[in-house]
Structure 1
Amino acid sequence: MDQSVLLRGVLDKGCRLTSSVNKARQPGPWMDWQWENAVAGSIAGIATVTFSHPLDVVRTRFQVYDGRNPNLPNYKNTPNALFTIARSEGLRGLYAGFYPAVLGSTISWGLYFYFYNSAKQRYIKNQDKTSAFVHLASAAEAGGLVCLLTNPVWVVKTRLQLQTPQHHGRPYSGFSDALKTILKDEGWRAFYKGLVPGLFLVAHGAIQFTAYEEFRKIVIEFRHKQNSSIDKSSDLLTTVDYATLGASSKLVAIIGTYPFQVIRSRLQQRPSTDGVPKYADSRHAIKKTAQLEGVKGFYRGITANLLKNLPAASITFIVYENVLNLLKQIRTKD
């Protein structure tokens, strides 16, 4: 999962929840808030993955392609890649690795939500800590734990997405076969390939959240200047605003952290038929990419990534907010 996609929704409602809990100390609303946000986030995550998965496949193949990979064709650009995959592999190719993508996103959201709020409650007990510290420290802790627990799922997803008709060796038949084959042929350590750059990607959420807050302040100040009679306690943001701000902050985060995604994908690809990994570790992957491809190599597939994640960030915010409001309305009627 992109842990930062729902970060703003969690933080915003978390701040309001903390205030109400401190005043009322009532367990009922807290539990309602937990399951409502969990359900809303899971549905939003599934909707996002379903919509954007073909672009995720294209992005992964571009990230790994270095001109010397016999298992991958040379696509000219993103539209050409989508067309070629659809023609030669069909819908199955466009949705390669879909099951682990959905499973990983769902699990990641549930774990992130749990770890984030547990950490926030622990940090907030120390009144000397600022709210900014609480949010960022909680986000970093939750992101790191989620990365450690879900990395095996992302390894399988990456490998399934990289299977093409010209793949050498026996292909994985599916998610469970990939798990068993990786464990048998490479051992449990293979499930944690790409973990180091994955941990660095935890910064993605912090960057997006910071950018989101700054953009949000600018929009609110602009709205108040346009209409000074409006109560300043109102942020005046609409669903369209949240979607736009989410996409804009996502762009900033992607540009800053994308090289880590490329390195992670390259480390997670399947070893050659002789069983030797193409890259020994993160340092080796960075060195070889820089030597052979230059800066461009660290941004392979970024077009597909932007096409996937910018609309996805908007869709996730829209679905999340609407589902959450619907669940609250249902609970209120009951």
Structure 2
Amino acid sequence: MKIPDLTNYENLIGGICGGATSTALCHPFDLLKTRFSANEGHPLRPQYTSYADAVRRIVRVEGVRGLYQGWTPGLIGASLSWGLYFQWYNSLSTKINEGFSTGSEFANNLISGFIAGSAIMCITNPIWLTKTRLCLQYENQASKKYTGMIDCMRKTVQQEGFFGLYRGFVTGVIGTTHGAVQIAAYGWIKDTISEARGVPKESFSKQTDIMFASSTSKIIATTVTFPYQVLRTRMQDHNSNSRGVLQTTLKTIRNEGVTGLWKGCFIANFRQLPAAVITFLTYENVKQLVALTKE
């Protein structure tokens, strides 16, 4: 049986595979990042002394399964987000570079990344909200408010209305600058390496180069834009009454100082670095496999 030509969807397929693979392997790090980012010192939360202490206490009460709370919406959200992001980003960047160029390819790519990310956030915000809330169901609580992704969505709509699913949406849109910085930096690093070696950009396929480009771009993007992740986590947390972006920002700075906006940044880099490498390695290699369908 002849395999149909799927090259028009190589970015979509590669992104879905990359997002799914990284989430399957790295979700426990994401859970820890979410918990440390949300922790403003409230007594209802377990006060972990370290990341190792958090793992030990979660596993003691809930087993290894406790490290995978929120895994289902995380898997769906990452697969959908990365698939659509790579597909729409590449389409937009081609159109902008050809017809509406700012004169800088890096700036064009930033714009493409921001537009693609904002559009995707309109679709995926409810999924990320449920992931956050499931991750913030602690082992020291007598009972869990949500039994799963669908139950969380249903109860959120019942108690907060449909737009309750879009808590943290503004910070999510602001956070699309993270993806824009990452993808633009990744593209710039790829182009720089290819140019230094005197090879076409399309031939960028050396595994070590992909690892270097993806890890470097991720560290830059995560560190520079991390405050939005703290604010978004706290606004989506069902255990607190945080509402607006400004209110949450001022409250965090007042109680924890400016460094409170980077709470969880270390574990975020620790978690997101392997996730980014896995995502981009999978994406680039799946793209090459999909390209074979043209033959």
Partner of residue 84, structure 1: 57
> How many corresponding residue pairs?
290
Mapped contact 2:15–2:82 kept (Cα < 8 A): yes
Partner of residue 241, structure 1: 209
Task: Report the CA distance between 1:113 and its aligned residue.
Answer: 3.9
Mapped contact 2:29–2:271 kept (Cα < 8 A): yes
Partner of residue 67, structure 2: 94
Instruction: Please state whether the residue corresponding to 1:202 is helix, strand or coil.
Output: helix
Q: 1:185 pairs with 138, 154, 159, which one?
A: 159
Alignment gaps of 5+ in structure 2: none
1:59-138 residue pairs with structure 2 within 5 A?
Answer: 59-70=33-44, 72-117=45-90, 119-120=92-93, 122-123=95-96, 126=99, 129-130=102-103, 132=105, 133-138=107-112
Instruction: Please state whether the residue corresponding to 2:63 is helix, strand or coil.
Output: helix
| Counterparts in 2 of 1:118 and 1:147: CA distance versus 1, 3 Å | same
Q: 1:270 pairs with 233, 238, 241, which one?
A: 238
- Give structure 1 regions of 4+ aligned residues with deviation exceeding 6 angstroms: 234-237
Mapped contact 1:220–1:237 kept (Cα < 8 A): no
| Post-superposition CA distance 1:43-81 (Å, at most 9, x none) | 1111100111001001100011111140x2111122221
User: In 1, Cα distance between the equivalents of 2:114 and 2:222?
Assistant: 17
Instruction: Please state whether the residue corresponding to 1:180 is helix, strand or coil.
Output: helix
Which is worse superposed, 73-82 or 208-217? 208-217
Percent of matched pairs sharing the same residue: 33
| Counterparts in 2 of 1:236 and 1:208: CA distance versus 1, 3 Å | closer
| Post-superposition CA distance 1:2-23 (Å, at most 9, x none) | xxxxxxxxxxxxxxxxxxxxxx
User: In 2, Cα distance between the equivalents of 1:60 and 1:144?
Assistant: 21
Task: Report the CA distance between 1:35 and its aligned residue.
Answer: 2.4
1:152 aligns with 2:152: no
User: In 2, Cα distance between the equivalents of 1:266 and 1:44?
Assistant: 27
| Post-superposition CA distance 1:174-216 (Å, at most 9, x none) | 1111111111111112111111111111111232234334544
Q: 1:166 pairs with 140, 151, 175, which one?
A: 140
Partner of residue 276, structure 2: 313
Task: Report the CA distance between 1:104 and its aligned residue.
Answer: 0.9
| Post-superposition CA distance 1:27-56 (Å, at most 9, x none) | xxxx63232332222111111001110010
User: In 1, Cα distance between the equivalents of 2:36 and 2:142?
Assistant: 18
User: In 2, Cα distance between the equivalents of 1:123 and 1:193?
Assistant: 31
| Counterparts in 2 of 1:287 and 1:150: CA distance versus 1, 3 Å | same
Partner of residue 254, structure 1: 222
Mapped contact 2:81–2:120 kept (Cα < 8 A): yes
Partner of residue 51, structure 1: 25
Q: 2:258 pairs with 295, 301, 314, which one?
A: 295
Which is worse superposed, 181-190 or 47-56? 181-190
User: In 2, Cα distance between the equivalents of 1:211 and 1:123?
Assistant: 17
Partner of residue 4, structure 1: none
Mapped contact 1:36–1:327 kept (Cα < 8 A): yes
Partner of residue 286, structure 1: 249
Query: In terms of Rg, which structure is larger?
Result: 1
Report the TM-score when normalising by structure 1.
0.78
| Counterparts in 2 of 1:109 and 1:128: CA distance versus 1, 3 Å | closer
Task: Report the CA distance between 1:309 and its aligned residue.
Answer: 0.8
| Counterparts in 2 of 1:233 and 1:159: CA distance versus 1, 3 Å | closer
User: In 1, Cα distance between the equivalents of 2:278 and 2:251?
Assistant: 37
Instruction: Please state whether the residue corresponding to 2:6 is helix, strand or coil.
Output: helix
Task: Report the CA distance between 1:151 and its aligned residue.
Answer: 0.6
Alignment gaps of 5+ in structure 1: 1-30, 225-230, 272-276
| Counterparts in 2 of 1:66 and 1:251: CA distance versus 1, 3 Å | same
| Post-superposition CA distance 1:79-110 (Å, at most 9, x none) | 22122212221122100011101111122234
Report the TM-score when normalising by structure 2.
0.88
